[in-house]
Amino acid sequence: MSYEALVEKVKALPEVCLEDAYKYMQFLLYQYEQEKMVALYESDEEFEARMNEGFNDMIEGRVTPLKETFEDIKKRFA
């Protein structure tokens, strides 16, 4: 379905239904954002292991330049 078709359907709704339609669209957007966040969750053990690995890398001098780090973050979350 295209955006245009969806817009036409919304335009055809009686005005009394618009608030419900809006709330449902907000709910869909919320669900979509939650699905994107699921990949970010990890157990406490996984988190601690990754933090320790990063700490050990820092101590040993294995670091990534700040500019590269921010470029990587932008790619992952853009």
The pTM of this model reads 0.45
Asked whether residue 66 carries a pLDDT value surpassing 70, the answer given is yes
Of residues 56 and 43, more confidence is placed in: 56
Query: Are the CB atoms for 70 and 64 separated by under 8 Å?
Result: no
Q: How confident is the model at residue 38 (pLDDT cuts 50, 70, 90)?
A: low
What six digits make up the tokens of 59? 């101590």
**Amino acid letter for position 76:** R
Close Cβ partners of 18 (under 8 Å, ≥ 6 residues apart): 10
Q: How confident is the model at residue 39 (pLDDT cuts 50, 70, 90)?
A: low
